[in-house]
């Protein structure tokens, strides 16, 4: 079956990364999530006339987690 062959190929290609996660228990999910938020907010603020306001809005949104405003649950 082509689907199973593709799955096996994908697992084989990603096996070193999966093995590293199983040994260390560390992922890059946090940085991926932060980058997604930055891209989303930057897209929302694209129409701002002042680029400094766009940067400020991105910084405020991404640092809210340290203040307890973003709930990870």
Torsion of CA 60, 64, 69, 73, to 10 degrees: 130
Burial class of residue 18 (count of CB atoms within 10 Å of its CB; 0-12, 13-18, 19+): exposed
Residue 12 has pLDDT above 90, yes or no: yes
Radius of gyration from C-alpha coordinates of the chain: 19
Give the global pTM: 0.48
What is the structure's pLDDT at 11?
94
Per-domain residue ranges for the chain?
A: 2-67
Handedness of CA 26, 27, 28, 30 (dihedral sign): negative
């Amino acid at each position: 079956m082509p689907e199973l062959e593709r799955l096996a190929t994908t697992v084989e290609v990603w096996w070193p990364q999966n093995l590293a996660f199983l040994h260390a228990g560390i992922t890059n999910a946090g940085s991926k999530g932060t980058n997604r938020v930055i891209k989303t907010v930057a897209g929302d603020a694209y129409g701002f006339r002042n680029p400094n306001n766009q940067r400020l809005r991105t910084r405020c949104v991404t640092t809210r987690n340290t203040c307890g405003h973003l709930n990870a649950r």
